[in-house]
Structure 1
Amino acid sequence: MIKEQAPGKLYIAGEYAVVEPGHSAIIVALNQFVTASIEPTTKKVGNIISEQFQNDILSWRRQGNKMIVDNRDNPYHYILSAISITEELASLLDKKLMTFNLYISSELDSKDGKKYGLGSSAAVTVATIKALAKFYQINLNKELLFKLAAIAHLDVQGNGSLGDIAASVYGGWIAYHSFNRDWLSSIRRTQDLETILKTTWPDLKIELLTPPSDLELLIGWTGSPASTSNLVDQVASTSYQESTHYTQFLRDSEICIQELITGFKNGDSVAVQHAINQNRILLKKLSAFSGVLIETPELLKLCEIASQFNGVSKSSGAGGGDCGIVLINKNEDISGLKESWSNNSITPLNLDVHDVTEIM
């Protein structure tokens, strides 16, 4: 049995701006994982089984080199896309395609099925590709893994920056500079996969960061799940995106993220906290001009409580619910903050940053 893992993620700063090519975000990978396990089978039918979907079994079979799914109305879109892109590469490398059983388990949601917004679709895409690549004896470095997973994920979701893919691939804290998805869509129509993987992707840059040693990351869940793709679509569909306000938002966001990266590199906790606060202000302006609710009343309460304990906080990811993050000095009263969250129906998530040395 081959087993591979990929961690979940949280956005720290740079949301919304990062969906535009050439813009940046700070993202952190967490020590909660999606695990993909794969084994060959001598039967003509293979199975995909996921705990996330109550162990529903998706059966499939081979028709030549094609994977034929028996149940077309299924919740396994990201997994199937990951299999498809990996087997496309395997075929180019003259690997014999086989029938297999694939098992998926996840730590990214609660035991009763509540979604925390930790990037499960990205993690399952990455974990599936890692497991299948090992199954077919394909050596992937992190850059190739990212590119494969980005293609697979974009085929399903159709939008987004793919920063969550980068976090699941590279782990730890990262600065992610988004590439041009229109370019990728265009080149896929004219070039084969092997050429695309060897090509330098315009604007793509992924850099590992080390946070200031005196800061601690806290995560609170507001109990209201949000759809990233829907919220990104809402902003994209507004006339605001074509306004000078939006251009200024992108410019200001990039300046903010670069200041944040510099703060990380200098171990300057004051600069990091200042940049986080500035990014929250920028997102509030985006919300006001676009009419899209990013910081919900629950997220506002999360942030207000954090400020009472000298923490700097903001929504994480697309907002609209899900998680908020806090960067706070390790000498502050963290237990009191968490207790106050709990008293206001905000769930503290006891998650640590994933050790980057443990990935691949």
Structure 2
Amino acid sequence: MITAQAPGKLYIAGEYAVVETGLPAVIVALNQFVTVSIEKSADYGSIMSKQYQENSLYWSRQGDEMVFDNRDNPFHYILSAIRLTEKYALEAGKRLSLYHLRINSELDSADGKKYGLGSSAAVTVATIKALLAYYELPLSKDKLYKLAAIAHLDVQGNGSLGDIAASVYGGWIAYQAFDRDWLQAIRRESSLTELLALEWPQLNIELLTPPANLQLMIGWTGSPASTSQLVDRITIAKAKKRADYQNFLEQSAACLQTMINGFKQKNLAVIQAQIKRNRELLQQLSDFSQVSIETPLLRKMCDLAEEFGGAAKSSGAGGGDCGIAILDAALPTHQLAADWEQNGIERLALAVHNVTL
């Protein structure tokens, strides 16, 4: 049996602006994982998830095509990952076979609560990693990212693909999205193998090392949000408020570049100042777009952290889910966690997942 894992993620800063080509964000991979296992099968294939046992999917082959016994399934990202990876395997001269693929995710709670940790990206990456191992196809992290990004984009249709980068590279990363219009055009005339070998315009993924005294706290507000829907609503707003949106992008880029420099200089104060600045920018975006990014409970979470001497903001698309706080590790963070709990905010016991290169 072959097993592969990919970690979940949280956005630290740069949300919404990062969906634009070449604009930076800071993202962190977390020590909660999606695990995918593959076992060869003789007569039929299956896809099973511990979290969705009632929706197991069974399939067979007609030639090199997967044929499904039931069409209504929750496994769109997994199927896209399989389709792209098997296309790559065929280009590499591999013979496709049947297998049982099993998924287990730690990214949602035991009772099904969604924390917003990027489970769709993690399951995409873990599925591709497992299949590459199954078909004995070594792939660099750069190419793994590209393959997973295509698979994820084929399903979601929007977003920055930064969560894919976090699941592939681990740790803290500075990320800039590639030009998706270029990708759409070049796919029509390139094989998958050729596409993975190309330089992708504007794509930049850089590993960051945080200051030793940086402490990351994660709070969950209990109201899951749809990233795709929120991004769609911002897209509608930017067409109407072009000047406001362009100013937001310019200010976000400056904020993130200063923050990334803060990481390189190991300067916690600079990072915290830019976390606060990014929170202000997201509030401006919320005001002119009329999209609720920082919910009342997220605002309470952030305000409590700032009163405690930290810097805090919503994480990802907002609208609920998680917020992050950056504090000096010398502070007694259990006191802040208690304040959060009294206000209905759950501190998630998560740590950064670092990948050795």
Q: Is this a same-fold pair by TM over 0.5?
A: yes
The DSSP-based 3-state class of the residue aligned with 1:217 is: strand
The DSSP-based 3-state class of the residue aligned with 2:297 is: helix
Letter in 1 for 2:83: S
The DSSP-based 3-state class of the residue aligned with 2:133 is: helix
Q: Is 2:238–2:245's contact at 8 Å kept on the other side of the alignment? A: no
Aligned to 2:186: 187
Once the two structures are TM-superposed, the CA of residue 54 in structure 1 deviates from its matched residue by: 3.2
Distance 2:244 2:51 in 1: 40
Letter in 2 for 1:355: N
Aligned to 2:15: 15
1:145-184 paired onto structure 2 within 5 Å = 145-184=144-183
The DSSP-based 3-state class of the residue aligned with 1:165 is: helix
Q: Which moved more, 1:151-160 or 1:62-71?
A: 62-71
Once the two structures are TM-superposed, the CA of residue 56 in structure 1 deviates from its matched residue by: 2.9
The DSSP-based 3-state class of the residue aligned with 2:30 is: strand
1:39 aligns with 2:39: yes
Q: CA 1:333–1:247 in 2, change beyond 3 Å: closer, same or farther? A: same
Q: Is 2:178–2:200's contact at 8 Å kept on the other side of the alignment? A: yes
The DSSP-based 3-state class of the residue aligned with 1:324 is: strand
Identical positions, percent: 59
The DSSP-based 3-state class of the residue aligned with 2:101 is: strand
TM-score, normalising length: structure 1: 0.98
Aligned to 1:28: 28
Q: Is 1:240–1:290's contact at 8 Å kept on the other side of the alignment? A: no
Distance 1:63 1:54 in 2: 26
Q: Is 1:305–1:337's contact at 8 Å kept on the other side of the alignment? A: yes
Question: After TM superposition, which residue ranges in structure 1, 4 or more long, deviate above 3 angstroms?
Answer: 239-242
Q: Is 1:240–1:289's contact at 8 Å kept on the other side of the alignment? A: no
Q: Is 1:25–1:175's contact at 8 Å kept on the other side of the alignment? A: yes
Letter in 2 for 1:20: E
1:329 aligns with 2:328: yes
Distance 1:230 1:47 in 2: 31
Once the two structures are TM-superposed, the CA of residue 55 in structure 1 deviates from its matched residue by: 5.4
Q: Which moved more, 1:196-205 or 1:116-125?
A: 196-205
Aligned to 1:339: 338
TM-align CA RMSD: 1.0
Distance 1:223 1:234 in 2: 22
The DSSP-based 3-state class of the residue aligned with 2:70 is: coil
Distance 1:135 1:182 in 2: 32
Cα deviation 1:144-171 (Å, max 9, x = unaligned): 1000000000000000000000000000
Q: Is 2:55–2:74's contact at 8 Å kept on the other side of the alignment? A: no
Once the two structures are TM-superposed, the CA of residue 52 in structure 1 deviates from its matched residue by: 2.3
Where does the alignment leave 5 or more consecutive residues of structure 1 unmatched? none
Where does the alignment leave 5 or more consecutive residues of structure 2 unmatched? none
- When the two structures are aligned, how many residues end up with a matched partner? 357
Aligned to 1:218: 217
Distance 1:8 1:101 in 2: 23
1:274 aligns with 2:291: no
Distance 2:3 2:237 in 1: 43
Q: Is 2:22–2:176's contact at 8 Å kept on the other side of the alignment? A: yes
Q: Which moved more, 1:22-31 or 1:230-239?
A: 230-239
1:94 aligns with 2:113: no
TM-score, normalising length: structure 2: 0.98
Once the two structures are TM-superposed, the CA of residue 181 in structure 1 deviates from its matched residue by: 0.9
